[in-house]
Amino acid sequence: MYELLHQKFNEHIHLTDQEFDFCKTQFRPKKLRKRQYLLQEGDTAKYTSFVEKGLLRTYSVDDKGHEHILQFSQEGWWVGDLYSFLTNEPSVYNIEALEDCELLQITREAWDNMLEKVPALERYFRIIVQNNLIATQRRLIGSLSETAEQKYLKLQQSFPGCLQRVPQHMIASYLGISRETLSRIRSQLAAKK
Partner 1 sequence: MTRETIAIVGAEQKSGSFFAAKLIGLDEYRILLMPGDSHIPPGDLHMPAGDMWTENEAVTCIKDGCWEADTILLDVAGDQEKETADKIREVSTQKIVLILPDAGSRYAYRETDWDELLPTAAIVHSYGDPHQGRISISGHEKSATDKIDSLLKKLGFETVIK
**Contact residues for partner 1, defined by CB under 8 A:** 1, 24-33, 37-40, 42-43, 102, 105-107, 110
Sign of CA dihedral 31, 75, 93, 68: negative
Name the minimum Å distance from CB 107 to partner 1: 7
Instruction: State in angstroms the smallest separation of the CB of 124 from partner 1.
Output: 20
Nearest to 33 by CA among 7, 56, 14: 56
State which residue, 33 or 68, has the beta carbon closest to partner 1: 33
Q: How far apart are CA 110 and CA 112, in angstroms?
A: 5
DSSP helix/strand/coil, 114? helix
Cβ 35 to partner 1 shortest distance, Å: 10
Nearer to partner 1, 18 or 164 (CB): 18
Burial class (CB in 10 A: 0-12, 13-18, 19+), 184: middle
Q: Which is nearer to partner 1, 104 or 171 (CB)?
A: 104
Pairing of strands 67-73, 56-61: antiparallel
CB of 107 or CB of 156, closer to partner 1 = 107
- Least spacing, CB of residue 100 vs partner 1, in Å: 10
